[in-house]
Structure 1
Amino acid sequence: MAEELFVTLPSGCQICYQVFGNRSDPAILIISGHGSAMTQKTDEIVRLLSPPDDPHFVIRYDHRDTGRSTSFSQSPDGEPVYTLKEMADDAIGLAEHLALDSFHVIGISLGGPMAWQVAARLPDRVRSLALVLTSPTGRQLNPSDILPPLHLEGQWLLGEAFSVPEDRDDHEAWIETYMRLALALATQPPTEAEIAEARRECEVTYHRERESGTMWTKFNHSGASGPRWPRELLKQVRCPTVVVHAAKDQVLPMGHGEALRDDVEGATLVVLEDCGHELPHRVRHRVVDAILTNAKRDK
C-alpha cells in the first residue's frame, strides 16, 4: 500500500493523499463522491487505471471532512461550512503541490462538478475528463434545466442503511454501518468478493475517520452539494470528455447523464445497463476502459 502523504493548502486545509506509479507517466487525479474517503471503492480502480501497456501516475485523496484530511466544525446555524468551489480548490491545490503540468481527471458522483470545475479553470493542463455517475445540476434544478428531478429511491435506501450505534464506542457496530452504506445501492446481491472488499475498506476507513474526527463531520458535504452545481462551466470544458452513467441509477436519472454529454462539446456517453449508483466488480473494467479510451483521444 502506498504511503499516506499530507499537504497543507493555502486555504489552511490539510489534505491526505496517496500516489501510485511513476511520476514520469501521465497523471490521473481521482475525485471521489459525497462523504467518500480515498480508501473507499478505489483500490481496484487505481490498479486498473495503470495496466502494464499503458501505465499512469495515479493520485487519490481524502476530501476535506473525510479520511485523514481536515475535519471542519459543523455550523451551529446550519449554514454550509464551505462551498463546492472550495472543494474543487482542494483538487487544484493538490495538483499544484504535485507540480502536475498536465493530468487527466476523473470525477465520481459529487466529484463530477469538482472535476469539471478543475477542467474549466485549467484548460491548458487537464488532458481529459471522465464524469462518472453524476449530474450537471445536482438536486437543485432551475426551470430552464429541463431535467427530471432526482430519484428518491437512493436517498431512502441510504437513510435505511444508516444508524448510529447505541454504544458509540462499539467499533464493530460502526463498521457494520459503514458496510450497509457501502452496499445500500447495490442492484444485484453482492458477491462474496464484494462483501469481503466492503468489509476491508470499511474497517480501514472507519478507523481512519474515527482517529481524525471526520466520521462526525463528513455530512458537511451535504451543505456544499446543496446549491445548484455550476452547469454553465461545462461549456468551458475543452478536453476530451466521457460521461459514464448507470441505467438503473437510484439517485440520478439517465437524463442527467445525457445532459452532461450534450453540454460538453464532443463528449461521449457510456451507459452501464445492469448497474445503479455504484461501482460493483462487474462494471469496473468497462468503466476504466471507457476512461482510458477517452484519455487516448488527447494524443
Structure 2
Amino acid sequence: MKLTANGIQIEVEDSGGEGRPVVLLIMGLGMQLIAWPEDFVRTLVDAGFRVVRHDNRDIGLSQGFDEAGAGNLVWQSVRHRIGLPVRSAYKLQDMADDALGVLDGLGIRRAHVVGASMGGMIAQRLAAGAPQRIASLVSIMSSSGARNLPGPRPDVAAALMRRPASRTEAALVAHSLGVVRLIASPAYPEDERTLAERIARGLRRAYRPGGIVRQMLAIGADNDRHALLGGISSPTLVLHGEADPLVPIACGQDTARRIPGARFVSVPGMGHDLPPPVCDILLQHIIPFMQTVEKHA
C-alpha cells in the first residue's frame, strides 16, 4: 500500500496485525522492501511482533527523484576522498524522516527499528533524532560513518562502480549476481539459481538505477552522523559479519563503541547478505533482545 510520509509517497508492507509491538525494518542501498526475506518477517510475526517494511525513497515502488538527476558519482567520490562535501539530491536524514512518516501514517507511537547496511545508518539517525519513538535500535552490517574507518575491499568497490553490459534482464541479473557473489557470506553460500531468481523478481518489481546513485551520494554526504551516536538513549544491538567485504567489521565495532550501552555481536562467516542461516543467527539475537526491552518497557 502507498502512504504519504514526510510529504512523499512511500510503499509499505504491514504484517502481523495491530495490538502487537512493532518492528520497523529499513533496508539498505538500492534494496527494496522485498529484500527482507519472507522467512525473516514470518519469524518475527510468529514471535508476536507486527512487522512494517517500506521501500526507501527513490527505490522500489516509492516516489522517485529522477528530476534531480543522477549526479556525477565518480567526481563526488573524488570529493569525498579528499574531504570535500559530497553534493546529494537528499540526505539520509530525509530518509529517516520518511521512516518516521511511515510510523505516523500507520498511527504507530513507538517501534523497534532494525536497519541493514544503509538502513542501519538511517535507523541510527532515527534513534538519535526521535528517541521517544524508538523502543530499541538494531544496526546490522552498518557503520557510524566516521572518516577513519576502512572502506570496501578494492574489488568490491570496483564492482559497484561498473555498469551492466546492457539493460536486458539477463545482463542486469548477471551484473547483480557478480556483485552479490563478491559480498556474499563465505560460510553460507546460496544456490546461484535461487539468487538469480530473486534478483530477477526484484528487477521486475522495479528497476531504478538513478535512485541507487542518488542513495550512494546521500551516504557519502552523511559526514556527521558519528557525532550524533553518543546521544542515542535507546537500547541498542549491533550485529556484524566477520567476513564482510563491503562494510568491514571495524565499522560495526565503531558504531557500538559510540552508542552508550550498545551490545556488539560478531557473526563468523557472515558477509554482506542475508542467506537463511545468517537470518536464523541474527534472529536468535534480535528476538530475545526486543522481548527483553518489551518486558522492561
Class of the TM-score when normalised by the shorter of the 2 chains: 0.7 to 0.9
Helix, strand or coil at the partner of 2:114 = strand
* Among 2, 7, 20, the residue aligned to 2:3: 7
Alignment RMSD, CA only? Answer: 2.2
Helix, strand or coil at the partner of 1:81 = coil
Helix, strand or coil at the partner of 1:49 = helix
Gaps of 5+ in 2: 73-86
* Among 201, 205, 211, the residue aligned to 1:204: 201
Deviations 1:132-161 (A, max 9, x none): 0011116xx1xxxxx44223346336338x
Note if 1:150 corresponds to 2:151: yes
Q: Structure 1 pair 182/66, CA: closer, same or farther in 2 (3 Å)? A: farther
Distance 1:18 1:272 in 2: 28
Distance 2:117 2:170 in 1: 28
Question: Percent of pairs identical after alignment?
Answer: 25
TM-score scaled by length of structure 2: 0.85
Distance 1:91 1:240 in 2: 19
Pairing 1:197-276 to 2, within 5 Å after superposition? 197-210=194-207, 214-227=208-221, 228-276=223-271
Q: Structure 1 pair 10/110, CA: closer, same or farther in 2 (3 Å)? A: closer
Deviations 1:7-28 (A, max 9, x none): 12343x2111111111111110
* Among 61, 67, 73, the residue aligned to 1:68: 61
Q: Which range is displaced more, 118-127 or 97-106?
A: 118-127
| Contact 2:242-2:249 at 8 Å conserved across structures | yes
Helix, strand or coil at the partner of 2:261 = coil
Match of 1:100 in 2: 108
Note if 1:35 corresponds to 2:30: yes
Match of 1:144 in 2: none
Distance 1:76 1:248 in 2: 31
Q: Structure 1 pair 276/153, CA: closer, same or farther in 2 (3 Å)? A: farther
Gaps of 5+ in 1: 142-146
The AA in structure 2 aligned to 1:275 is M
Deviations 1:264-291 (A, max 9, x none): 1211111111112222222211101211
Q: Give the total of aligned pairs.
A: 277
The AA in structure 2 aligned to 1:103 is A
Deviations 1:108-139 (A, max 9, x none): 1111121021112222221111000011116x
Match of 1:278 in 2: 273
Q: Which has the higher helix share?
A: 2
| Contact 2:156-2:246 at 8 Å conserved across structures | yes
| Contact 1:41-1:201 at 8 Å conserved across structures | no
Q: Structure 1 pair 196/44, CA: closer, same or farther in 2 (3 Å)? A: farther
| Contact 1:154-1:250 at 8 Å conserved across structures | no
